Structure 1
């Protein structure tokens, strides 16, 4: 199978076939018929076919579609290894959680290009950055008395205080110090995690409203 595709690409060196199989972890199954391979292993073979002519850019369309969780993880791990080997990978997928795990830059498409950027950059651009402070007990007046120049907004939901700041790495110590001065009993401080799904929905909704 792989030798046939290598010939289609004009690859005459049989070592390239061996190298491609080794790269995807199939070197020890080189002589097995494709029909006997599991779906996950067939996806690995498909990646070997894409790699056999050593392309500088790898174009992949839904590489984990239809795979069980274990096989999908194997393919994701392989793609991460290929990326670390400085191979450019262009991945087309509807699996936003997978895109967030694998991709350094994201292009969001919905009939047209809506946004391009690193996942963290897109989240910050659309939602800003918010710190979630979990308190030992609710403190209703706390958002109003913070009065710090770097706080863009603050709100309280039960015992959770949500504070929007521009640079958490720089401002968190000042924020915590002020809260302690105001008598707040702090249990946890963490940055609010937005997902790529939220980014996508926000962009699509904004595009509809435009």
Structure 2
């Protein structure tokens, strides 16, 4: 659905200065129906990438395809097939919400303009404010209106650049719920976000990016590659020799005793946990409960950025 081959963008400030590389040799593939998170620090080139993929700016070199249409050759068709929410969406502030959406629906060539406008105003909880000037809206309401604008023409591919940036928790949750709904409809969603918890919950795969693509994978696979899997066994009390008993079991990588807990690194918790519990019970340890120690996406992100910086 989204395919790039060596996509590169350089900006020239002046004839005297060397070009600034914003995106360097990006080769990436996003499948149909996938929610893909594009993560990176400020200035990493995420927004520049989105602007190229939506045919708003041209790449310096490389190629990109959106739904088999090539950027630079099929730009008008691409713009009609994608929806985009920019980080700072502009609206006609002196016009009503309904009027704003009507203008953009006509620009997109939507057949049932009034029907589509009503559909998305209702869906995003703005129908009762449809006649109010957008200039009177809160940031959260403007963001919801901008999402409605991006979806009026029912695009199969949606680009969201910081969709919950600056929103209060209630508005941010509404936006996340809406993204989840789009996901169930089979739309391809490309999200740039600094909210790593949000990316962890919403995204099938993530790409960590800092001018160059550092890695792509699912959050779960990256956790396992970087940190392995670690299970915490909470005990009534720590008995002598428990660590050694567990360490001698098959497939155990490491065992740490911390107060009344055993932290066990292993390959396959689902298969190995029963044998560990059995060993602990037979040794006389009271197992209170068992839980997997789960590294956050923030841990993954910071570790990948750190590894990139020390190269």
TM-score range, shorter chain: over 0.9
In structure 1, list runs of 5 or more residues that go unmatched.
none
Q: Which residue of 2 aligns with 1:81?
A: 181
Q: Which residue of 2 aligns with 1:38?
A: 138
Q: Which residue of 2 aligns with 1:161?
A: 262
Residue 287 of structure 2 corresponds to residue 203 of structure 1: no
- Aligned with 2:127 (options 27, 31, 39): 27
Instruction: Give the TM-score normalised by structure 1.
Output: 0.92
| Higher fraction of helix | 1
Residue 108 of structure 2 corresponds to residue 9 of structure 1: yes
Aligned 8 A contact 1:140 1:156 in 2: no
Moved more, 69-78 or 18-27: 18-27
Deviation at 1:12, TM superposition (A): 4.3
Secondary structure of the equivalent of 2:230? strand
Q: Which residue of 2 aligns with 1:98?
A: 198
Q: Which residue of 2 aligns with 1:47?
A: 147
Secondary structure of the equivalent of 1:48? helix
Deviation at 1:140, TM superposition (A): 5.0
Instruction: Give the TM-score normalised by structure 2.
Output: 0.64
Aligned 8 A contact 2:238 2:285 in 1: no
* Structure with greater contact order relative to length (CA < 8 Å, sep ≥ 6): 2
When the two chains are superposed, the root-mean-square deviation of aligned CA atoms in Å is: 1.6
Secondary structure of the equivalent of 2:132? coil
Secondary structure of the equivalent of 1:205? helix
Deviation at 1:175, TM superposition (A): 1.0
| Higher fraction of strand | 2
Aligned 8 A contact 1:57 1:87 in 2: yes
- Aligned with 2:157 (options 38, 57, 60): 57
